[in-house]
Amino acid sequence: MTQIKKIKLPKLIGHRGLKDLCPENTIESFNKAFDIGLKFIELDVKISKDNIPIILHDDSLERTANHFGSPTEYNYKELKKLDAGSYFYNKKTNIIIPKLIDVLDLCKKRNGGLNIELKPNKGFEKTNIRKVIEVTKNYESTEMFFSSFDLLSFIEISNELPNSNRSFLIDTFNDYSLDQIINISSVYNSNICGLNLSLLSQEVINIIKKANLLITVYSDNNMNLQEVEECFNLGVDSIFIDNPKNLSEYL
Ligand code: G3P
Ligand code: MG
């Protein structure tokens, strides 16, 4: 079995940068996370028409970039003209959708780590992962791990980069049972499991820990100090945070 060089996860990871404090998935948001003292950021990768990995959460540009359609319909030179900050500030800004390579450069400069979430990119999964690998292979000294809710993307990255740190993400047990999740993680030799906060219980944590997986947790809304403390008491390793207010002891 391939041996993964195990990553050491910080207690807090900035979710889409710090999405409650800045426009999500932008250089401003990632800088804010590092300025506040976070050691890792999380971001979502989609692909442009000209096969450039870009940072965007949704399938559509509408919510965060004030435009219609999917990023796969536009070359990056068109995407970078869009305003990725106006949805947050309610006024025109010069904030743009970054390329993955821009964020890797930033992480290198700030000595920070990152979690690259591979969004489904329906129909473009293989291209997306091939391009993400092409870009990330030049950043060997930057700490990173890959994650995905999308089994196809997870399998693809696992086959292409079997020595990487990887996390299968779970939003509900309706699609996969806990047994199936443990089995998928074992078959593809991944070392992290990412869960929605709503799925947490001591029993669930114990089963995942028994499978020797690190546990990350994300939530639909920012987690407060009490929720964060409960997670760590249950045995969670790392939390995706939108705003680390009152959490300085975990930085
Ligand atoms: O990986 C944690 C989290 O980013 C997953 O949910 O929808 O914010 O990408 P989402
Ligand atoms: Mg994400």
Per-residue model confidence as pLDDT tens digits over 55-78: 999 999 999 999 999 999 999 999
Q: What percent of the chain has pLDDT above 90?
A: 96
Q: How far is the CA of 187 from the centre of ligand 1 (A)?
A: 23
Q: Residue 44 Cα, ligand 2 centroid: separation in angstroms?
A: 5
| CA 73 to ligand 1 center in whole angstroms | 23
Pocket test for ligand 1, best of 42, 118, 166, 231 (most atoms within 8 A of CB): 42
Model confidence, pTM: 0.97
Confidence tier at 1 by pLDDT (50, 70, 90): very low
Check pocket membership of 145 for ligand 1, CB cut-off 6 A.
no
Per-residue b/e over 60-89, b at no fewer than 16 CB within 10 Å? Answer: ebeebbebeebbbebebeebbebbbbbbbe
Cα 108 to averaged position of ligand 1 atoms, centre (Å): 23
- Cβ–ligand 1 contact at 117 (below 6 Å): yes
pLDDT in tens, 146-155: 999 999 999 9
d(CA 52, CA 230): 40
Q: What is the 3-state secondary structure (H, E, C) of 26-81?
A: CHHHHHHHHHHCCCEEEEEEEECCCCCEEECCCCCCHHHHCCCCCHHHCCHHHHCC
